[in-house]
Amino acid sequence: MNLRILLNCLLVLMTACEDTDEKTEENEREQVIDDTTGDDDPSHTRIAIVPPASAEDLSGIEWQANMDDPPIGDPAALKGGTLYTFTTAYPLTMRIVGPNANDGFARWRRGSTMDFTLVARHPTTDNYIPSMATHWSVQEDQRTIYFKLRPEARWSDGETLTAEDYVHTWNMMRSEHIVDPFFNSYAADYFEEVVAIEPHVLKIVGKFESWRPLDNFDLWATPKHAVTLEEGFPERYNTTIVPVQGPYLVTEQEAGQYVVLERVPDWWGNDVHYWQGMYNVDRIHVRVIEDQNRG
């Protein structure tokens, strides 16, 4: 009889503890924050959902990296000066997605944006090497990948580059506002989800098992703080120069005549091993010459 009473008491205690734990966790996730008016009116409060610092346990992840291959450029290469080159038509847009984004000037726009993927292939060894990610980990399903991002990476306006900027790229590719059927289809066919686990830890899940997931499920970053996804996107960003993570930013242009790109001052990537001896010139002057025979 005493044993039965004892067991009932223990059951009540355990239930009470579980209820307390649930309320504690709930309280941690929901905080009532006073409105900026500073008054005590209950109608002037809002509920802020506070997410956990990390949505996943990363302690079991086996990270990979590669710092053994030689630099791609020549560290002894001269720096400075202006590179003069040409294009056969003035750029139709300054966007990297949306209508006309694949025009003749696209390679210059992509050079400091899309080309800075999470990992890259070494042009000589063909090995995977770090790019915007320092480490990566491909899971057994051959479609889930974790990336450690470079904590020193910055946008050209000085803002910190984070995993949320990659999530923003995925959202942009899926958005109908960009008016880009190719990227809409690409996002739907290749990416199951893109998750910011921590500010500098990213998780990408591909749509299918791949024998080369690092190639198929790679992404570039888009500055979330500078690019909004809304109706009128193509017109709004047609001539807007948004921050870049790469070394060159458009700083000058004359319609129908030329575009100038300048090296970002104190670019954060100057000391990255695989970029030594690259991106040496200070300015790139792209002149419009319609007749290639005169270029």
Q: Tens of pLDDT along 93-120?
A: 999 999 999 999 999 999 999 999 999 9
**Roughly what angle, to the nearest 10 degrees, separates helices 181-190 and 164-174?**
120
Number of domains in the chain: 1
DSSP 70: P
* Lookup result for tokens 């809002």: 46
| 73 within a domain of the structure (yes/no) | no
- What does the pLDDT read at residue 141? 97
Domain annotation covers residue 245: yes
> What is the residue-wise DSSP string for 18-45?
HHHHHHHHHHHHEEEEE-TT----GGGE
pLDDT for position 151: 98
Residue 24 lies in a domain: no
Mean pLDDT of 189-199: 98
- pTM beyond 0.85: the answer is no
Task: Answer whether 63's CB lies under 8 Å from 137's CB.
Answer: yes
Write out pLDDT tens, residues 14-67. 444 444 444 444 444 333 333 333 444 433 333 333 344 445 888 889 999 999
Percent of the chain with pLDDT over 70: 80
pLDDT of residue 64: 97
Report yes or no on 62 lying in a domain: no
Q: Which of 127, 137, 113 is nearest to 68 (CA)?
A: 127
CA atoms within 13 A on the CB side of 183: 21
Predicted local distance difference test score (pLDDT) of residue 57: 84
Residues sharing a CB contact under 8 Å with residue 229, sequence separation 6 or more, in sequence order:
171, 172, 175, 177, 178
Q: How far is CA 119 from CA 124, 145, 231, 238, in A?
A: 15, 11, 32, 29
Per the domain annotation, does 210 fall within a domain?
yes
Residue 239 belongs to a domain with what CATH number?
Answer: 3.40.190.10
Asked if 276 and 73 count as a contact pair (C-beta separation under 8 A), the reply is yes
In a domain, 47, yes or no: no
Residue 29 lies in a domain: no
Task: Specify the pLDDT at position 55.
Answer: 56
Q: What DSSP element (H or E) covers 198?
A: strand 191-198
The answer to whether residue 56 sits within a structural domain is no
Enclosing domain of residue 209: 82-294
